[in-house]
Amino acid sequence: MIRRSIVLLGGPDSGKTNYVGRLWPSFQKRKGVLRAERLPNDIAYVDGAVEYLMRGSFAPRSDRNLEVGRADFSISVRGANGKGALTELMVPDISGELWARAVATSEISQEWLDVLKEAEGAVVFVRALSDQNVKPLDWVTARNILRLEAKSKDAEDCDDSVAERVEPEQPPPAQEAQDTIALPSGPDLPTQVLLCELLRYLVLCLADRADGGRPRVAVVVAAYDLLDPQIRAGGPMAYLRREFPLFAGRLADTGRLDVKLFGLSVVGGDLAADDEFRSRFLERDISEQGWVFVEDGDGLRPAEDVMLPIAWAMGD
Ligand SMILES: Nc1nc2c(ncn2[C@@H]2O[C@H](COP(=O)(O)OP(=O)(O)OP(=O)(O)O)[C@@H](O)[C@H]2O)c(=O)[nH]1
Ligand SMILES: [Mg+2]
């Protein structure tokens, strides 16, 4: 039997842990479009996040110690309210910093590449107003960084047949690149460059869907509740265009990927700074709270089911 999977990714502080924590009560109560076959019961990472949320706080960022921080897990889910095909939801690591570092140093492990190659879809997180977002560089510098990063890696990252799908980029004149920039390393890599790199890996590595369709990538702007109502109403793509123009540009032209944008609030408000909201939140069941804006060709649609980004990436 072909094992279908989709993978959940994002940089540091992008909202992954709180999202997974928020999914758990919905899985337990069998609410929402995704149903878990069986919930693994020894996942400290998820249990901890659920506990925080149930007490009315966001879970803190995951352990940044590289050794302790690794805690891959997967869960088998079905879409279409339990009637869809079985798919593995892979959360390949718990610290976005690991991803940031791996991308910055071009040292994505074979293990991670294998996870990407097995997946036929992804959910990519970027968080609104995170103080960990490294501000955009100007276009010219960011473009040069991307070119430098791309120079030696395209052919070696995934297998050749996958690499061939990507148009080779024109390398910049070596002198120009060396003169104008020093390649940043580690978490200082601008967030939008990190996101473009993640996207490039997805273009290279994701498998075609079982039905022959393009791999789907749901891009989730997390903590969407923190944005001004006016900015929110413009939709997640408009937000990305303002904050991460390089990444937004890449999303508009992703070749073999099918991309859709989502604006997500895991519980529907800000537990950290809005006491009134927090009191209201604690009075109701967590599985009934949170929302997502879905942006597609028809415009922006609000929905209550926070599982929708995953469900869409799975093909629903
Ligand atoms: N207001 C609001 N804040 C959120 C929401 N989701 C996440 N946050 C905030 O974002 C912070 C980071 O979220 P995490 O879930 O820890 O992010 P992460 O991607 O797991 O981060 P790393 O573990 O560092 O990789 C949280 O501590 C919250 O402050 C949301 O829906 N609304
Ligand atoms: Mg985390």
Tell me which H or E stretch contains 20: helix 16-28
* Ligand 1 centroid distance, CA of 57 (Å): 11
C-alpha radius of gyration, the chain, whole number = 19
Q: Give the closest residue (by CA) to ligand 1 atom 28.
A: 58
What is the C-alpha to C-alpha distance for residues 263 and 316, in angstroms, rounded to an integer?
Answer: 18
Neighbour count for residue 133 (Cβ, 10 Å): 20
Class of domain 4-314: alpha beta
Ligand nearest to the CA of 226: 1
**For ligand 1, is residue 266 a contact (CB within 6 Å)?**
yes
Q: Which atom of ligand 1 is nearest to the CA of 273?
A: 1
* pLDDT value for 66: 47
Q: Give the closest residue (by CA) to ligand 1 atom 16.
A: 61
Nearest by Cα to 216 from 7, 57, 1 = 7
* Ligand 1 centroid distance, CA of 75 (Å): 21
* Ligand 1 centroid distance, CA of 272 (Å): 11
Q: Which atom of ligand 1 is nearest to the CA of 265?
A: 31
Beta bridge partners of 312: none
* Ligand 2 centroid distance, CA of 215 (Å): 25
* Ligand 2 centroid distance, CA of 15 (Å): 7
Domain boundaries, the chain: 4-314
Predicted confidence pLDDT, tens digits, the chain (316 residues): 557 899 999 988 999 999 999 999 999 999 999 999 888 876 777 888 999 999 999 999 876 554 454 557 789 999 999 999 999 998 876 567 777 887 778 788 888 888 889 999 999 999 999 988 887 556 666 666 666 655 545 445 565 444 444 443 444 444 333 333 344 444 478 899 889 989 999 999 999 998 899 999 999 999 999 999 999 999 999 999 999 999 999 999 888 999 999 999 999 999 999 999 999 999 999 999 999 999 998 899 999 999 999 999 999 8
Scan for tokens 């929302």, then name that residue. 291
